[in-house]
Structure 1
Amino acid sequence: MIRQKLTQKVLDLPKTDLARVGVLIALLLLGAVLSPGYLSVGNMRIILLSVAGIGIVAYGMTLVVISGEIDLSVAGIAVLSGMVGAALLPSGSAVLVISATLATGICVGFINGILTSVIGIPSLITTLAMLGIARSLANILSGGQAAYPDAMPEYLWFGSGTLFGLATPIALLLIIGLCTIVLTQYSAFGRALYATGGNSRAAVLSGIPVKAVKITVFMISGFLAAMMGMLESARLSYINPAAFAGVELEVLAVTVLGGAALAGGSGSILGTLVAALIIGVVNNLLNQLGVSIYVQQVVTALVILAVVLPGLRSRIFAK
């Protein structure tokens, strides 16, 4: 009985996701009216490439937020993971560099999970501190100098290669999205995740390993942050210890726009993907219209409010 109540929210997700899809379609049609050729294959590719990195790390953020926590360390993890990989470039082993990059993200995520769920430090404090620590360690490790993986085509493939006929970042955005949708909607772990975020005490009483669930989502978030850092560094052929400033707030905005409640217990990966696309479509259209970057930020914020407020009002009146 407890499990049925705790997982009921999962059944309500498609309606909110469909509403966001409607907004996305409306924005695409608006773009087609205002800018000829807006719906061309080339421009759609540009939009997908622009949101691939943010979308991938937002998947991890969504899992963390569903569990009732938050991860503000993603930008620091991306930078630190990249610099750990950069330190191993002289080895000439692409497997070593890529494995070390992703493993660093997992390890930092594991530390976040332990500090939050076992030690009991609020995730806001833990991950904010980890953001600063990771950035500092990245600069110490690199001496403040960037690295250039030009001689490692396997690494560069993540930014400029193709997979299944799609640009690698786009293919990974879709593949990882599909995997996380299956994880959250069609697995026992997904049910445990929503239960943990909805009511952790009731989840414990129903036998769900709440601490293990939270540690796992932080590790996934760290892994995907490292993946995002590698994709961007590979695309630019430039591993920068000062990169990704403010990315954590962009990712959080996409997560909230996608329908994840900061209180935990609700949200969906599909919603996050659609939210990332909404942001990408808006920014791309404004760029084509020659709108100032400062005006773009205002418009993007208004779009987020317009999409989020109806759902927020319904939750308030439901109480």
Structure 2
Amino acid sequence: MEKLKALALKFKSLIGLFFLCIVISIITPRFLNINNLLNVLTQVSVNAVIAIGMSFVILTGGIDLSVGSILAVTGALAASLISKQNSLFLAILLSLIVGALIGAFNGLLVSKGKIQPFIVTLAGMTIFRGVTYVYTNGTPISGLSKDFTFIGNARVLGIPFPVIITFIVFLIAWYLINETRFGRYVYALGGNEDSARLSGINTDSIKTMVYVISGITAAIGGIIVTSRIGSASPNAGSGYELDAIAAVVLGGTSLAGGEGSIAGTIIGAMIIGVLNNGLNLMNVSPFYQSIVKGLVILLAVLIDKKNKK
């Protein structure tokens, strides 16, 4: 019985996703339609990619509230370069570089400046949203090439391309966190920063790097969103930071750091995506959807705290 209980606790997020799918499929059989399931995966892809980067930050005991604004500014940059230069490679490369630089900016303020991550990234959220408005002059950037819109709308062997991108990002992140020294240091830092420092780990470097990773994944999200919509809006990514944090928490990662997994984060993103899709199929008002999603997240945190006790 104890082994069964331990197994259930270990896979609680997956079990929760499974039962959620069963309940929604009973209430609305349209949920199991193959096109709808592919639509869910496509909608989940952006949040999943951003949440993967957020996982690295939260595993160290930090937080990144600026990912939505990074998504907006990098998406606007990509759209601008495509509309003016029509260079897909340049647009993607520079967007990823800018995402990494913004992440490094946040990380250095946290690690070297010794400022709380909440304050740094809250300020970053405001600053880079403002930069986006200035860069776009408050208007969407359109006129994007078919090569670029392919990223967010194409299917390869019936699988939406954003889903393939998410899977690639997941594999890279899984390898980093599970098979490298860097990954072990991330867990060590989140578990006990003082012990990690005394054991010879360059904690400042690790802190900076996790924010760089978060910036890169936010930029990937920006490219996907801009490509899917076919234009870059200065309002893009608003609220995405909350969905990313929710996915990480629902996936079983502790906000205190040192405990969690990338696979769990993907499951957490799926829970949010399935819940949103199910509520839409049931014609639930968007106002009530926010309440339901908030209650689910709160319940997940309470259950996690009770299990730890």
In which range does the TM-score fall when normalised by the shorter chain? over 0.9
Partner of residue 33 from structure 2, selected from 33, 40, 55? 40
Q: CA deviation at 1:188?
A: 1.4
Partner of residue 284 from structure 2, selected from 285, 291, 296? 291
CA contact (8 A) 1:53 1:228 kept: yes
**Distance in 2 between the 1:123 and 1:15 partners?**
33
**Distance in 2 between the 1:14 and 1:228 partners?**
33
Name 2:56's counterpart in structure 1. Answer: 63
Q: Is 2:209 aligned against 1:216?
A: yes
Q: Is 2:86 aligned against 1:92?
A: yes
Q: Structure 1: which 5+ runs fail to align?
A: 1-12
**Distance in 2 between the 1:278 and 1:81 partners?**
27
Change (3 A) 1:157 1:14: farther
Please give the residue correspondences for 1:1-319 in structure 2 after superposition, counting only pairs within 5 Å: 16=9, 18-89=11-82, 90-150=84-144, 152-163=145-156, 165-315=158-308, 317=309
CA contact (8 A) 1:17 1:271 kept: no
Change (3 A) 1:182 1:194: same
Name 2:3's counterpart in structure 1. Answer: none
CA-based RMSD: 1.7
Q: CA deviation at 1:162?
A: 3.0
Q: CA deviation at 1:41?
A: 1.7
CA contact (8 A) 1:149 1:155 kept: no
Question: What SS does the corresponding residue of 2:237 show, helix, strand or coil?
Answer: coil
Between stretches 38-47 and 82-91, larger displacement belongs to 82-91
Change (3 A) 1:163 1:63: farther
> What residue identity is the alignment partner of 1:46?
N
Q: CA deviation at 1:225?
A: 0.4
1:21-69 CA-partner distances (Å, limit 9, x unpaired): 1111111111221112422221111111111101110111111010111
1:232-261 CA-partner distances (Å, limit 9, x unpaired): 110010111122222212211222122222
**Distance in 2 between the 1:149 and 1:51 partners?**
26
Aligned length: 303
**Distance in 1 between the 2:204 and 2:9 partners?**
29
1:86-122 CA-partner distances (Å, limit 9, x unpaired): 3323112111111111111011001111111012111
**Segments of 4+ moved more than 6 angstroms:** none
**Distance in 2 between the 1:115 and 1:163 partners?**
41
CA contact (8 A) 2:13 2:252 kept: no
Q: CA deviation at 1:302?
A: 2.3
Change (3 A) 1:149 1:94: farther
Q: CA deviation at 1:231?
A: 0.5
> What residue identity is the alignment partner of 1:121?
I
**Distance in 1 between the 2:157 and 2:34 partners?**
16
Q: Structure 2: which 5+ runs fail to align?
A: 1-5
Name 1:5's counterpart in structure 2. Answer: none
Between stretches 95-104 and 160-169, larger displacement belongs to 160-169
Q: CA deviation at 1:227?
A: 0.7
**Distance in 1 between the 2:172 and 2:157 partners?**
16
Q: CA deviation at 1:16?
A: 4.5
1:132-167 CA-partner distances (Å, limit 9, x unpaired): 1111111112212211143x2222122012346521
**Distance in 2 between the 1:164 and 1:178 partners?**
20
Change (3 A) 1:187 1:174: same
**Distance in 1 between the 2:196 and 2:143 partners?**
46
> What residue identity is the alignment partner of 2:147?
E
Question: What SS does the corresponding residue of 2:165 show, helix, strand or coil?
Answer: helix
TM-score (norm 2): 0.93
